[in-house]
Structure 1
Amino acid sequence: MEKRPSRIYLFFSLGFIFMLICAVGSFFYGLKVGTDRTEAKFDAKTAATKQIKRVGTYPQQDLVSFYHTVLLPYREFQNTWFEDMDQLNAGDPTTDNASIVRALGKLADEQYKQANQSAINGTSPLLQDAQTNYLKSLKLFSTGTSKYISKANSIPGSLVAEQLAKDEYIKSAMNYTLRAQEQMYFAILKWSSTMNSEIPKQVVFQPKVSITEWKSYPIAVKNLLITNILLEKNMYQPYYPQDITTKIDQMIQNGQSGELNVQYIHQSVDLLLRTDAIKANEFKKNKNRYYKDELLPQLPFFYE
């Protein structure tokens, strides 16, 4: 008669120990996740500070070399990406969705090889970092698209585009692009400051930059601020930062910012992208109107 209660007590004891182990395990797992998230937030906040410390020299020839050997191959993929997403979203039932996705992955691989052919000058560390991040982006685009080839023809094109946009590999690829873009425009700022001592070598922006502050900045600073906002909001767009800069300046000049009660630059960016108000080559079309006397390196995306 005594064995049965003993057995029950044993089961209860084992059950209690098991629950205790699970609770302790959950606690440490939660602690690790919380720590990881905190570290990730800290890394994001200190990224700008680390970037500022990337000292180096940024002669125009390094910027031009980077433009042709790294940026152009990447931009060819980026432009094709947006064109193909538009085609998929159109939802034409005769479209071979799988071929589009397969071609995107192949193009990402090809452009990766092109952008990786030449090493960036070691005296320009920001451009080195930008090349690394553009390469990471292309690799992740290739990996991400490969997962959808087999099922792309079994679902509507708009759903393919939607799933690609939500894919973790693709989202990471876009984030690496935005990081690389910020680093490239930081390098352009550093070149500008060597040519004009009144232009700062480095800038740490406040969380909210007002229209009044914006109007006091040279274009090199404005463009860098736009890359900061795009990275912070994870806005992957087909436009160059200077195209967004130009549209903001146009809104201010036309009085639209006041009419729409836009007080901060990040509000302007949100509004312009949400309403699809930016067109290709906004900067080049309005360069002489707004930036005739501004200092810019001889890079093709700044000139006709």
Structure 2
Amino acid sequence: MKNSPSRFELYFSLLFILALLISAAAFLSGVHIGANRTEEKYNQLKLSSLSPDFTDSYQQQDVVTFYHTVFLPYREFKQEWLSGTDNQILSAKDFKQLAKLANDSYNEVLQASVFDSSPLLQQSQNNTLKSLHLFGTAASQAAENSTDAKMTAVRFTQDPFYQNAVKYGLMAQKQYYASMLKWGTKVSPSIPGQYSLPSILKLDEWKKLPLMVKNEAVSAVLLNSSYFSAADPQDITAVVDYWLASGKAKQYKLDSLQATVKHLQKTDAIRPQIFCQLKEQYGQKELLPQIPFFDET
């Protein structure tokens, strides 16, 4: 018969098993802690990617530089384009000139710096380029289709390329005016960082809004109505305020911004740069970035 294990051997076996248990527990604890730390780092990365820091974005220099390099070239293009399509009948030669105008403007805007730190400006530049490209495509195709016969301006505006060009141009305009709010809220707490246009903006509520918010609201109305005009949003803002002050809005039973802008479009009551003529009456004391088109003479 084998001898029973000694007391020393029993103690040694128990200590060995205990050491194994402690090692296993330490290993599992380390895995758990490491997993938690990895998850924390991943969550931080997710948060940083979802909420980037734009503390240096939307400075006045950004919106002014954007005006000179992107908005102004498109604005000048728009004025020439509308002047070139003013005739009721357009020839192939007319369309070729319009296509060249759009392509030249596209190349000019393409040279502008990309505004990485200000997403709205970057999006506005991209949509401006899309608009110019589509205008050029629409005009080039019209030139080919009207070689033997002239095309009416009304028929041309029904072209899908043309309609999408207008849409992207108005979208770019709205994004630019929205970026001004981003700048404004850093300068004054009374300016909201963003504004959502209600389906019906009553004129009683409109009167309470800061000028920059009014301009952004008008840009949204223009986008929703696909109204392509040489006038800027602040021009329409000035006319709406003038109609309110003069009693014309009440006379024509206009009680919302949308209805008033629609009426002004129908009556052709909006002229480019009229804002600067009425600025002393309606916008002289309002906060605005130092963009040249707010002070044109």
TM-score (norm 1): 0.77
**Counterpart code for 2:123:** D
1:64 aligns with 2:64: yes
Corresponding residue for 1:220? Answer: 212
Corresponding residue for 1:147? Answer: 141
**Counterpart code for 2:217:** L
What do residues 136-155 of structure 1 show as CA deviations (whole Å, max 9, x unaligned)?
A: 00000111111111343544
Corresponding residue for 2:83? Answer: 83
In the alignment, is the contact (CA less than 8 A) between 1:54 and 1:126 conserved in 2?
Answer: no
CA distance in structure 2 between the aligned counterparts of 1:156 and 1:133, rounded to whole angstroms: 30
Corresponding residue for 1:138? Answer: 132
1:116 aligns with 2:114: no
What do residues 254-303 of structure 1 show as CA deviations (whole Å, max 9, x unaligned)?
A: 01111111111100000000110111211011111111100111111101
CA distance in structure 2 between the aligned counterparts of 1:274 and 1:97, rounded to whole angstroms: 27
Post-superposition offset of 1:100: 1.4
**Gap change, CA 1:259 and 1:238, over 3 Å in 2:** same
Query: Identical aligned pairs, as a percentage?
Result: 36
Q: Within 5 Å, which residues of 2 pair with 1:255-266?
A: 255-266=247-258
CA distance in structure 1 between the aligned counterparts of 2:113 and 2:150, rounded to whole angstroms: 42
CA distance in structure 1 between the aligned counterparts of 2:107 and 2:113, rounded to whole angstroms: 12
Structure 2 regions of 5+ residues with no counterpart?
1-50
Corresponding residue for 2:6? Answer: none
CA distance in structure 2 between the aligned counterparts of 1:291 and 1:265, rounded to whole angstroms: 18
Instruction: Give the 3-state SS of the residue equivalent to 2:144 in structure 1.
Output: coil
Post-superposition offset of 1:121: 2.6
CA distance in structure 1 between the aligned counterparts of 2:64 and 2:114, rounded to whole angstroms: 11
**Rg: which structure is higher?**
2
CA distance in structure 2 between the aligned counterparts of 1:169 and 1:249, rounded to whole angstroms: 35
In the alignment, is the contact (CA less than 8 A) between 2:58 and 2:118 conserved in 1?
Answer: yes
Corresponding residue for 1:232? Answer: 224
RMSD across aligned C-alpha pairs, in angstroms?
1.6
In the alignment, is the contact (CA less than 8 A) between 1:136 and 1:176 conserved in 2?
Answer: yes
Corresponding residue for 1:248? Answer: 240
**Counterpart code for 1:132:** N
**Counterpart code for 1:263:** D
In the alignment, is the contact (CA less than 8 A) between 2:92 and 2:150 conserved in 1?
Answer: no
What do residues 191-223 of structure 1 show as CA deviations (whole Å, max 9, x unaligned)?
A: 111111111111222210101100000110000
CA distance in structure 1 between the aligned counterparts of 2:84 and 2:147, rounded to whole angstroms: 15
**Gap change, CA 1:55 and 1:234, over 3 Å in 2:** farther
In the alignment, is the contact (CA less than 8 A) between 1:66 and 1:120 conserved in 2?
Answer: no
Aligned length, in residue pairs = 244
Corresponding residue for 1:284? Answer: 276
CA distance in structure 2 between the aligned counterparts of 1:252 and 1:198, rounded to whole angstroms: 23
CA distance in structure 1 between the aligned counterparts of 2:52 and 2:173, rounded to whole angstroms: 15
**Counterpart code for 1:125:** P
Post-superposition offset of 1:244: 0.4
**Counterpart code for 1:139:** H
Post-superposition offset of 1:77: 1.5
TM-score (norm 2): 0.79
1:185 aligns with 2:185: no
In the alignment, is the contact (CA less than 8 A) between 1:144 and 1:167 conserved in 2?
Answer: yes
**Counterpart code for 1:147:** Q
In the alignment, is the contact (CA less than 8 A) between 1:137 and 1:173 conserved in 2?
Answer: yes
